[in-house]
A and B are shown apart, each in its own frame.
Chain A
Amino acid sequence: MEKTIRFHLNEKPLEVSCPVHWTLLELIRDRLGLTGTKGGCREGECGTCTVIVDGRNVNSCMMLAVDVAGRSVTTVEGLERNGELHPLQKAFIAKGAIQCGFCTPGMLMSAKALLDANPRPSRSEIRKALSGNLCRCTGYEKIFEAIESVGAGEIFDVDDGVWQAIEQVQKPRD
């Protein structure tokens, strides 16, 4: 059985019909073709499908598509503004927080939900906010650094068309 729903996707109003048993992830990826949102498990355990619904990060594989009727959904495709990357995207690129990149869209959405609510989070607040997002590549360290750098207002500019992080001299602890 199909049902027609209306909601905002990446700030644009949308009317779409989909089977009532579909998850939001299926709607986004399979019907709307926005494949930036990933499905690492489809069981609510990895966070690669994270999107923002009315300001909160949710696992889109665990939410029925019809339940977003009347709500506002942001996916990774909605982060850019007029062709300019979101500061989190710039920071992830410059800091090397993206390895295989498969967790990245979900990480970015959880990080955005965090920063929208708490613009200068501590490391432990970041850890808590991302605890539902698994990453198999990075050991999380550079993801933390990237989010902190946005919180601290560090700006990454394109130099020679290529992002380079500002070199921080690491002093060995004696």
Chain B
Amino acid sequence: MSQKPYSLAGKRHEKLEARQKATGRLKYTGDIRLPDMLHCRILRSPHANAIVKSVDTTEAMKVPGVVDIITYDDVPKILSMHQFLHVPEVMYYDSYLLERHVRHVGDRVAAVAAESIEAAEEALRKVVVDYEVLPAAVTMEQALAGEAPRIHEEARRGTDLVEIEGNVFEKVDVSIGDVERGFAEADYVIERSYNTSKPNPAPMERACVVCAPRSDGRLDVWATAQGIHAMRMNIAHSLGVPVSHLNCHRMFLGGSFGAHIHTGFIENICAFLAFRTGRPVRGEKTREEMFLAYGRHPMKVTVKAGFKKDGTMTALHSDTTDDTGSYAFSGSSKMMLTSGFTLSMYKCPNLRMTGRSIYTNTPPLSAMRGAGNPQASWAVESLMDEAAEALGIDPIALRLRNNLGVGDTFYGQGPKVISTIRSCGTPELLEKGSRLIGWEKRGNGYAPYPDRPWIRRGIGMARGFHTSGCGSEKPNRFIMDFSGAFIKMNEDGTAQLMNAAADCGGGNISTYATLIAETIGLRYSDVIVNGGDTDTTPFDGVTHASRGLYGAGQPVVACAEDIRQQLLEWASRAFRCGPEDLEIHQGRVYRHFKPEDSMTVSEVVLLGQARGWGNIMAHSTVRPTACPPHFVVIFLEVEVDTRTGRVDVTRAISGVDTGTIINRNNVEGQAAGGLHMGLGFGLMEDTLFDAATGRPLNANFADYKMLTTLDMPPVEIVFADTFEPTGPLGSKAIGEGVTNPVAPAVANAIYNACGVRIRDLPCTPERVFREIKKARI
């Protein structure tokens, strides 16, 4: 493609912080210890729906080491928002720091600050709470039933009161074109319902926060957050203080995957306790609390699609019921995203989305890798295979026939984010992937082992995408999708970046160093990226939506270009030539036609200093005007044990269209990691709650299964040769696309192996076995 030969991009670089991570020296939030620090623990409700009638803290306060205990009576009566990425005017405000009406098992009743965790926990045991236990609506069906208990009395969207009908807090019905006509024109109409589960992002690091009062009366906050500026906004709002009273520090995260895209209450509670006690306060969630705090929204997605005989799609209608749990952290956005992504998967002129978001008495959910797209992909990519079979068309051919490619517009993140596709590697990846897996030779119910005829092997595929950020041609009033950066040059020739984008493990902070070095002409090791905090960095629109490189990288490149021009201008004064006669390479400035005339970048900076020319520095703020989809194609080979329903994935191919590769190690790592998480979604991951009591059934790593080293198949990765004109050095994203289509590829492979269609996630042995048994009768 039109890719420039880059000197750094495309190689495998050591990440900037890799040595600190390999030696254990890097301080994660949980590793911070401050003198005089208090520990916070939260008293959590054992009931799924209850009114806290009274809380008696008398005995608890007597526990040695207990410094403060707060309840609903003590917290500011400010309805709070939690999500990081939305503009405040559209966010949901439906919770306080602590509640009088507790709405799920694990909801917040009181908080203790004590000299030690032991003392705090001892105090929790001594707090006496009188609950009025109410009937609970744990499942979607219970919440939608006529006589369902009302989960929320009040909620606001921005400044508007939300009309909550039963437990439905938002609905959508949007049409484009004429679906009725589209269905009438179709030769074949298919309608199926697909259900998704409730996996937990389960980063290995547990959420943690340390808040420390400063001598200037403000508060320092270190926390596991995907966006420090948005976190600052939310904490400040819930406490009723100006944002500048907080200084939030960027920390390397021990994974996140959406878990830290909102405040999960401990941040605000610890900040409140730190202001009250005047001492540093630390809070860290237990693993059980992690399971009672996050997760991907379970959805029921019904898709109706009309096709011509030749496979051309004529109409598509998706209907989505979305369960947000007990608080609407992300409002109805997940439902809108799933609906939008469902309609954006393929080219189709007549579209309609209907849907509703509901509250249930289960832990509040937010994003998890893919933000609505895994649910959409599960439905659409399963349906495409079902339709292909009915139409007698090869599944790949059906996808290609309706492919959304270069020049087409699509809904990036819901129907308000419209963007044009400028690069698309799907056809190339379908071709490469199918060749690699042997698509043409795949059988139907193939039994590869003569001595074990009950083992059936199958091959399945799915294609999908995710956006690179949330940019759209026109600014939208819904998502804050912009970033900023400052860069300055030091006297020793190093460039120093100050920005705020979080690195959740994907390596985006290191890619900024590559972008800077490549753009200015420095060595990779000449770039320093500051830790950064809200005091010294500009606002950044959160590391989510796979925007860490694509979105936050754009102002970095803009700054680096500016710095390069300034360096060339100064050097041209030294060489008495035009800047166009100079180039910078590996930290040295050369004259084009006299390469023996050169000076180091450091010498240029020092010369400017000595002459009083000032600083070489740059700043930039960029709102991306596109959210290019990074396309992914997954091919899987599975073996199904038809006696037990057990599914083993024996081969996995991840085909990725990520534009220019910045650090090859990073993108391969994302592809394999995304596959791991997608296989977990497809095969085993789900948090379960007792339908009567709302109690968690598997809130620990012993009972919540994810793929271990023994389960993970070998991963083959292929790349498309694409260049994204809007992206930093031609790059686009990778992080979420590599997960989104994995689960339907599992189901499609299972179907090819043994002829049963699984429409409810995850494809557990019980479910597969049940379907096999049904099919035999």
Interfacial residues, chain A to chain B (CB-CB below 8 A) = 29, 33-43, 45-46, 48, 75-77, 79-80, 85, 89, 92-96, 98-105, 108, 126-128, 130-142, 144, 160-165, 167, 172-174
Contacts and interface: CB of A to CB of B under 8 A. Distances in A.
B21 A133 contact: no
Nearest to B717: A170
Given A45-B702, A164-B14, A172-B436, A139 B712 contact: yes
B19 A35 contact: no
A102 B286 CA distance: 16
- Tell me whether chain A's interface is mostly helix, strand or loop, or mixed: loop
A139 B435 contact: no
Contacts of A139: 669, 671-676, 712, 715
A100 B204 contact: yes
Contacts of A102: 28, 203-205, 254-255, 505
From A29, A33, A36, A173, residue with most partner B Cβ within 10 Å: A36
Interface of B: 11-15, 17-19, 21-28, 30-31, 33, 202-206, 252-257, 286-287, 432, 435-436, 504-507, 523-525, 663-666, 668-669, 671-677, 700-702, 706, 708-710, 712, 714-716, 718
A94 B668 CA distance: 13
Contact of B204 (A34, A48, A94, A160): A48
Contacts of A127: 709-710
Contacts of A100: 203-205, 252-256, 504-505
B530 to A, nearest CB: 19
A136 B23 contact: no
B21 A98 contact: yes
B524 A160 contact: yes
A46 to B, nearest CB: 5
B12 A134 contact: no
Q: Which of B252, B673, B700, B714 has the most CB of A within 10 A?
A: B673
A163 B24 contact: no
Contact of A138 (B12, B14, B203, B673): B673
A19 to B, nearest CB: 9
Nearest to A35: B31
A96 B715 CA distance: 15
A24 B524 CA distance: 40
A140 B254 contact: no
Nearest to B586: A160
A42 B709 contact: no
Most buried by A among B19, B664, B674: B19
B136 to A, nearest CB: 27
A133 B709 CA distance: 8
B24 A98 contact: no
Contacts of A165: 12, 665
A85 B254 contact: no
Contacts of B30: 35, 38-39
B247 to A, nearest CB: 23
A56 to B, nearest CB: 18
Contact of B22 (A29, A33, A34, A89): A89
A78 B253 CA distance: 23
B505 A137 contact: yes
20 contacts: A34-B24, A38-B30, A85-B19, A89-B22, A96-B15, A100-B253, A101-B18, A101-B26, A101-B252, A102-B205, A102-B254, A108-B22, A131-B708, A136-B202, A137-B673, A138-B672, A139-B671, A142-B665, A165-B12, A172-B436
